[in-house]
Homo-oligomer: A and B are copies of this chain.
Amino acid sequence: MEIIRIPRIMREITKNLKNRAKSIGFVPTMGALHDGHLSLIKRAKEENDITVVSIFVNPTQFAEGEDFEKYPRDLETDSEKLKKIGIEYLFYPEAKILYPNGYSTFVNVENISNKLCGKFRPGHFRGVATIVCKLFNIINPNRAYFGQKDYQQTLIIRKMVEDLNFDIEIIVCPTIRESNGLAMSSRNSYLEENEKKAATVIYKALLEGEKLLKSKIKPSEVTLKIQEILRKEPMIKEIQYAGVYDPLTLDELDEKTNKYLIAIAVKIGDTRLIDNMLVELN
């Protein structure tokens, strides 16, 4: 596996590959790779001639006071995992190369960036859209892979790709969970054992919400029930949002329909956790 640190060199490599009619799968990550990431990477490897993984803890998607500094970084362990899967290229740029002094261009997907997580993380999705746009322009992949755990992010990336006419297929892969249901996340490493156990209530609330929606309970009532379940867990310090939403607009849903997003963001201790489930009725 080659580790590439310079955008210009990364670009030349993928450009040459594409000139030789090789397809390129791309998995952007912030590192601290877990089985969720690895499932995306394996899928990319299956569907493309060459796979590029990027590891970049993107400063512009962290709001003031968030965990940019303490976000887990471990290149060695990550590299080992990627080598084991047989990945060809790891793109590992420095922040000052991607955001040099005087950097000033930002991509913003309006409306959906301000809902759900966007309300609690000002500028977060602008940072996400901007770095993904930059990485797409550097790597120019045929396909890019994202996890459904970050549902709102996948919606925003899809919208950006459509609106800005990128020639890239976006593939969203299922959330990977611990055996107790907790969605895998690099931020789970912040949790103490008792916090991890408490965090399983999130998945339980999603499952209960799914069951209720499938038995035709009104979404607004399902939202109340989900919030009630979460409130019963004393280790949850804050419920940022929790309920049933329109999967396209991310607005709260009051009335019955046939496609729902159940989405939850809570704080356990200082750790912010999100999870979601799409529910489709026939």
Residue contact B165 to A7, C-beta cutoff 8 Å: yes
B-contact 0/1 string along A86-107, CB 8 Å cutoff: 0000000000000000011111
Residue contact B105 to A111, C-beta cutoff 8 Å: no
CB-contact partner of A167 in B19, B137, B167, under 8 A: B137
By a CB distance below 8 angstroms, the chain B residues around A109 are: 104-105
* Nearest CB of chain B from residue A40's CB, rounded to whole Å: 22
Residue contact B163 to A103, C-beta cutoff 8 Å: yes
How many residues on A have C-beta within 8 angstroms of the other chain's C-beta atoms? 29
Residue contact B106 to A167, C-beta cutoff 8 Å: no
Q: Would you list which residues of chain A between 103 and 147 have a CB under 8 Å from chain B?
A: 103-112, 129-130, 133-134, 137-138, 140
CB-contact partner of A104 in B19, B159, B166, under 8 A: B159
CB-contact partner of A107 in B11, B105, B111, under 8 A: B105
Closest 8 CB pairs of A and B: A105-B163, A104-B110, A137-B165, A105-B109, A138-B165, A134-B165, A105-B160, A104-B111
A-B contact pairs, 26 of them (CB 8 A): A11-B165, A11-B167, A15-B167, A19-B19, A19-B21, A104-B109, A104-B110, A104-B111, A104-B163, A105-B107, A105-B108, A105-B109, A105-B129, A105-B160, A105-B163, A105-B164, A106-B108, A106-B110, A107-B107, A108-B108, A133-B164, A134-B163, A137-B164, A137-B167, A138-B165, A140-B167
